[in-house]
Amino acid sequence: MRDRRPRRTDMTQHSSNVAGAVAEIARAVMVLLVPLALWRLAFPLTEWAVLALLPLAVAIWMGIYRPLRDRRRAELAVVILPGARLGRWLTGRMGARLNATLATLVSLPVLAWQALAAPAPVLGLLGAVCLLAGLLSMGVTGVLGRGLSPPYARLAGHRIACATAALMGLAPLVWINWAVIPVHHDITSLGLSEAMAAALDALPGRESWPREVMGAFAALDAGKLWLAAQYRDAVWVGLLFSLDAALVVFVTARAMVAVQDFTRHAVEQVPA
């Protein structure tokens, strides 16, 4: 009789891998979405709503910092001789911290604004971009890990996954913004500055610095819609929508991959 135990073992291993991937994606999605949901609910009530975003800021920062630091350390290990004094100064941490800080300072306000003001079709698409980026990150990193050292495979996998997910989400997001979300043509009765001021006044909540930050995004969105209503057939207006959508989808994909790396590292640190 043919021994089927190896096949059963392979199927068990495959099921375990799938379950692990699903759990990893679910953890990352929860860490990404829960702070944004709390921020959206609390924003009209208090300026302290910004505290809900702090865990997400930490997750994004750490998820960008660690891969950059580890890749840089791998490079320095080849260049700097063991025991050299130069190794005490060139550790890869400074550049990684700077990059992670800049990325977080860009990502967090963009995500906060999308959570606060994006319509349901846009939120649904961005959710799909998150799932795609997470799956691609695991798949590409695994493939690259067959030929590259872990620090290089990890960072390259993140970048390829972010770029691919963003490119795949760009065209649908431009289409949604251009064709699905209605542009109220009565906005043309207002001047550009008046339209932007009206968007600021429409923001909920009392005066506070988080409201001022979100007000900048509200004004930019109002200006974009005003231009779309005024010059709908102009090619450059379509380019403006495309650039705006590109920023949103890339930031979303990058945040998802960073949070996924953070949660994976956190789980690995938990004793079995």
pLDDT in tens, 133-180: 999 999 999 999 999 999 999 999 999 999 999 999 999 998 887 777
Q: What is the 3-state secondary structure (H, E, C) of 136-165?
A: HHHHHHHHHCCCCCHHHHHHHHHHHHHHHH
pLDDT digits (tens, 9 = 90+) for 8-36: 565 555 555 677 788 899 999 999 999 99
Domain boundaries defined on the chain: 19-183+232-269
pTM, rounded to two decimals: 0.87
The percent of residues in the chain predicted with pLDDT above 70, rounded, is 88
Contacts of 107 (CB under 8 A, 6+ apart): 60, 251, 254, 255, 258
